[in-house]
Chain A
Amino acid sequence: MVAKDHNAILLHAIDEAAVRAGLSIGLPLANARAICPELTVYDADPAADLKTLNDIADWCDRFTPLVALDAPDGLFLDITGCAHLFGGERALLQIVTHALSRRGFAVSAAIAGTSIAARTLTRHASGKIVADGEEAAAVGPLPVSALGADAAITTGLRRAGLKSVGDVAARAPHEISARFGAAFTSLLGHALGRGDAPISPRKPLPDYIVEKRFPEPIATDTVIALTLSSLAKMLVAAMDKQGKGARQLEASFFRTDGAVRAIMVETGRPVTRPEMIDRLFRERLDALNDPLDPGFGFDLIRLAAGRTEIVVQQQRDLDTSVHDNDEISALIDRIAARIGGKRVVVHLPLESHIPERTALALPAQHHLAAASAAAWPERVMGEPPLRPLRLFEQPEPIKVPFASVPDGPPHQFTWRRALHAVVRVEGPERIAMEWWKQDGAALTRDYFRVEDAEGQRFWIFRDGLYESELRDEEGKSVPAHWYVHGLFA
C-alpha cells in the first residue's frame, strides 16, 4: 500500500513478506522498489479503511455498547461489567482476536485499567491482560514509540536518551512537561494507570438494552419476528419497573459473518405495550427498500430503547378522548414507521402575510399536541373565502395578453395551454414582500381572485408594480409577469 505525502509516494502499509524483505512503513516507494523489485503496490484508500474500521466497530457492538474509534487502526471497547458474559476477560480477548484473525485481519489486543495503557500494550505485547494498579510495571519496559505520541515527541525522547516508558516515567513530571508539553504528561500518566482519559463511544448509550444470542444462527422471518416480540416483552418489563416508555427504539441484527443491520423506529408518545413495539417493527421491516438479509443467519438480535420518557398513567376507561388520542398517535406512529416520519404532518400557523408562508408543516409524531392547540386566524363571518383551498408551492406562470389598464386585472389568460376568459374579478389585494428580510429581491404582488367562463376560480397575481418596480437598468418599463398561485373551491 502506498500513499502520497507531501508529493512523495511513501509506503503506507506493508505485509509480513515485505517486512521480511526489509521494508518499513514510511519508506519512499522508489527506495522500496530498489530493495525489492518485485513489490506489488496498491494505492491506499483511507476512506475504505475507515469504513472497515467502522464495520469492525459495528461487529464489536455485540460485546459492549461502548465502542470508540481510535483512527486510523484502533478500537477501544469499554468492557466494564461485560466480560463475565463471555466467560471472563481472557476468554473475551480470545473471542475477539480469534474472530478477527479468522477474517484475515492482523489483530493485537490487550486489556488494561485505562484505555491509553491498553493501547500502549497492544503496540508491543498483544494478548496481555493487566490488572488494575499494575499498569506502570507492564508498560514500563515498552519503548516510548508505543505511547503513540507525536513523532516529534518520540524522536525528542529518544534523543534525550529516554528509550523506554519506564525511563520517561522515572523523570520528574515537571521536567517532562517543560520539554514536551502538558498533553504528553497526561498521556504518560494515563498509560501508567494514573487517571483515565474518557473514550468517546460512537453511539450514545441507550437507556435500556435487551438482547438474545443464538448458538445456532436464525434466518427465518417467523423466528426473527418471534424473537423481536419476546425481546419487546423483556424491554417493556424492564422499562415498566421504572415507569418509563420508549420514544425511540433500535433493533440491531448481528449476522454471523460480522455484518450488522440496525433498524430504528420513533414514536410520538412513549410506548409501553410490547404488541405496539412489535407492530411498529413489523411495519418498518415490511416497508424496507432493501429487506433484511439474514445471509447465513443472525446470531444476536438486540433491542434497545434509545430515548425513554416517564409515562404518566391516565384513566383510560371513562375518558374517551384519552383513548382517542392514544389511538391516533398509535396510528401516526404506524404510518410513520412505514413511510417515514416526515411524511405524516400536521400544520402550525406562522405569523406571516406571505401566502406561501402562513403554515408550517411539521412531523405529526412530535407536534400533534401543539397542532391541536394552535390558534389559526379566524375567518371573517359572512365573507366568501379570501384564500384559495389549493396553493401551488411554486406559483405557475400564466400568459396574459394585455390588461385594460396597466395595473388592472387581465381579461383572459393562458394557463397550462388552456385559455381562460375572465368573467369576474375581485381585487387587487396588494401583498408586499418582506423587504426587511431579503433586500428588495422579491417584488410586490397584486393578487386578483378571478372566475373564468366555466366557473373555475383562480388566485392570480402580477409580480411587481407598474412604473415603480417593473423597470430595467435603464429605467424603461418592462412587461409584468403573471402567475397563478392557487385554486379556489
Chain B
Amino acid sequence: MNGARMGTLASLRGSIARIEAPLEAAMPNRIALGHAGADAMLRGGLAPAALHEVFAAGHQSGAATGFIAGLAGRISVRKPLVWVRQDFSDRENGALSMRGLAELGLDPRLLVVVRAADVDSGLRTAADALACDALGAVVLEIWGQARQLDLVASRKLTLAAQASGVTALVLRIAAAPIPSTAETRWIVRAAHSPPGQAASAWGAPRVEAELVRNRHGPVGRWIMEWKCDECQFSEPSAHPQPVAAAPAHRPHQAQARAGHRLAS
C-alpha cells in the first residue's frame, strides 16, 4: 500500500472519528432531566433543537401531560412556551389548567396557548412557532391517530426545530407510534405512589416513562418522580423497586409485565 493511499485512509479515519466523537462523550448542551439513569442513557439529557415525541399509554392523558410539561419546563427555563392543542383534545382530556401548572412548579405567565381547530392548523401553527427563536419550546398536543402527522410532517418539524434551536415536543394521546424523525420517543403511563404508606399518602407526581426510541443510543424504562419544588425529575426515592407490584386481581397484566426486563 503506497503512502498516498495510507494518507487518504488516515484522513478518512480521522474525519469519521471526528463525526463520531461527540456521540461518545456527553453532549455539552444537553438538558439533563434530573433522573440519573435516564440522563446516562441519553448521554447527558434531552437534545435541544430536536423533535421529541411523548405517547400516552392508552388514554392516560394526565401522566403524559405531566411528563411533557416537565420536559417543557426543563427545556424552556425563563423562556416563553407555546402550547398548541387541538380543540378535540380539550374536550376529551380536559383543558390545561394554569393552577395545575403552577402546582407543578411551572410558570403560567410564560405560556401562550394556541387553540387549533384541527390537526392541520395545529401542525402549521407549531411549525410557525418553531421558527421563532425567542421561544423555549413548542408543545403540540394531538388526540388520536392523526394521519397528517406522518414522516413528512415530523421531518418539517425537525427541520424547523434545527433551524431555530427551539425544541419541539409532541404529545400524542390515544395514538400508536408510527415512524417519524423524532430524536426520542417516550411512552408514558401513570405509576403508583410508593407502597407501604398510609392509604391517604399522596406523593409527588410519578410516571413510568418508557424510552422506546433513541436515535443516538439505547432505550430503557424508568419510574420518574417530578420534584415540583426543584422543577426536575428524579429517581423514585421512597422505595427501591423500580415498578410497583402488578395488581393482584389482574393476572394477565402481571404476566405481561414480568416479560419485560426493567431497567432502573
**Which residues of A sit under 8 angstroms from B203, Cβ to Cβ?**
384
- A489:B134 contact, CB within 8 angstroms: no
A79 within 8 Å of B (CB atoms): no
Known A-B contacts A339-B121, A384-B205, A455-B191; the reply to A349 vs B98 at CB < 8 A is yes
A456–B63 Cα gap in the complex (Å)?
7
Known A-B contacts A359-B108, A456-B63, A457-B190; the reply to A324 vs B134 at CB < 8 A is yes
A368–B105 Cα gap in the complex (Å)?
21
Point out the residue from A324, A390, A423 that lies within 8 Å of B96, measured CB to CB.
Answer: A390
**Which residues of A sit under 8 angstroms from B105, Cβ to Cβ?**
379
Point out the residue from A339, A383, A489 that lies within 8 Å of B66, measured CB to CB.
Answer: A489
- B128:A489 contact, CB within 8 angstroms: no
B64-83 vs A, CB cutoff 8 Å, 1 = contact: the mask equals: 01110110000000001010
- B67:A346 contact, CB within 8 angstroms: no
**Which residues of B sit under 8 angstroms from A449, Cβ to Cβ?**
202
Name the prevailing secondary structure of the B interface residues.
mixed
- B62:A456 contact, CB within 8 angstroms: yes
A372–B78 Cα gap in the complex (Å)?
11
A84 within 8 Å of B (CB atoms): no
B239-250 vs A, CB cutoff 8 Å, 1 = contact: the mask equals: 000001001011
- B61:A372 contact, CB within 8 angstroms: no
**Which residues of A sit under 8 angstroms from B201, Cβ to Cβ?**
424
- A334:B128 contact, CB within 8 angstroms: yes
**Which residues of B sit under 8 angstroms from A330, Cβ to Cβ?**
132
A332–B115 Cα gap in the complex (Å)?
12
- B62:A453 contact, CB within 8 angstroms: no
A375-394 vs B, CB cutoff 8 Å, 1 = contact: the mask equals: 01101011111111111110
Q: How far is the CB of A276 from chain B (nearest CB, A)?
A: 14
Using C-beta atoms within 8 Å of the partner chain, give the interface range for chain B.
35 or more
B111-132 vs A, CB cutoff 8 Å, 1 = contact: the mask equals: 1111111000100110011001
Known A-B contacts A387-B97, A391-B94, A393-B95; the reply to A371 vs B109 at CB < 8 A is yes
- Selected interface stretch from B11-19, B22-30, B36-44, B192-200: B192-200
B168-192 vs A, CB cutoff 8 Å, 1 = contact: the mask equals: 0000000000000000000001111
323-367 of chain A: CB within 8 A of chain B = 323-325, 327-328, 330-332, 334-335, 338-339, 342-347, 349, 355, 358-359, 361, 364
A372–B124 Cα gap in the complex (Å)?
25
**Which residues of A sit under 8 angstroms from B129, Cβ to Cβ?**
331, 335
Q: How far is the CB of B194 from chain A (nearest CB, A)?
A: 10
- B97:A390 contact, CB within 8 angstroms: yes
A225 within 8 Å of B (CB atoms): no
- A453:B200 contact, CB within 8 angstroms: no
- A328:B113 contact, CB within 8 angstroms: no
A426 within 8 Å of B (CB atoms): yes
**Which residues of B sit under 8 angstroms from A464, Cβ to Cβ?**
none
**Which residues of A sit under 8 angstroms from B20, Cβ to Cβ?**
none
Most buried by A among B67, B70, B98, B244: B98
Known A-B contacts A328-B80, A359-B108, A489-B69; the reply to A389 vs B102 at CB < 8 A is no
Q: How far is the CB of B165 from chain A (nearest CB, A)?
A: 13
A323–B134 Cα gap in the complex (Å)?
8
Q: Known pairs A347-B98, A385-B104; list 4 more (Cβ under 8 Å).
A: A324-B134, A332-B112, A358-B98, A377-B99
User: B residues touching A (Cβ–Cβ < 8 Å)?
Assistant: 59-63, 65-67, 69-70, 80, 82, 90-91, 93-105, 107-117, 121, 124-125, 128-129, 132-135, 189-193, 199-208, 226, 228-229, 244, 247, 249-250
Q: Could you list some 18 contacts between A and B, CB below 8 A? A: A324-B134, A334-B128, A338-B124, A344-B112, A346-B111, A373-B109, A376-B98, A376-B102, A390-B96, A391-B94, A393-B91, A424-B199, A426-B200, A456-B62, A486-B97, A486-B100, A489-B69, A489-B70
> Nearest 5 pairs between A and B by C-beta?
A489-B66, A487-B62, A390-B94, A324-B134, A385-B103
